[in-house]
Amino acid sequence: MTGSATVSDFYCHQALAGAVPIERVKETERVLAFRHTNPSYPVHIVVIPKEHVPSFTDLGNADEGLLNEVVAVVREVAAGVEREYGACSVTTNLGLYQESKHMHWHVTYRGESEAEIRDMYGNHD
């Protein structure tokens, strides 16, 4: 990992280091998707690069190819959640919103019924 030891990086220091158990969803040579260790939603999957990358807007020493690989895994995982549940959210945080300073993407299904989703977002007709 690059940078200061005081930087909060749950993914390098805990998940990738094996300090906490994780349930893998998808894994490639450079990318890992796993069920969130403290989920906020019924389906809450995190996708991370296996090497330290500070954020979506600061790739640090990583190459653009790694970002493309991460996004490809995000797309694949999100497509599976959308197929299974009919809806999916994909988010990443930056700056002060980013608690852990390691690029990570949340792929979630919040648990609403189809009727609740349509009430909120409409029928798009």
Domain boundaries, the chain: 10-121
Q: Model's pTM, two decimal places?
A: 0.87
pLDDT over 60 (residue 89): yes
pLDDT over 80 (residue 4): no
- Is the distance from CB of 96 to CB of 80 less than 8 angstroms? no
Burial of 83 (C-beta count, 10 Å sphere; 0-12/13-18/19+)? exposed
Average pLDDT over residues 63-78: 97
pLDDT given at position 50? 96
Asked if the 10-121 domain carries CATH number 1.10.3710.10, the reply is no
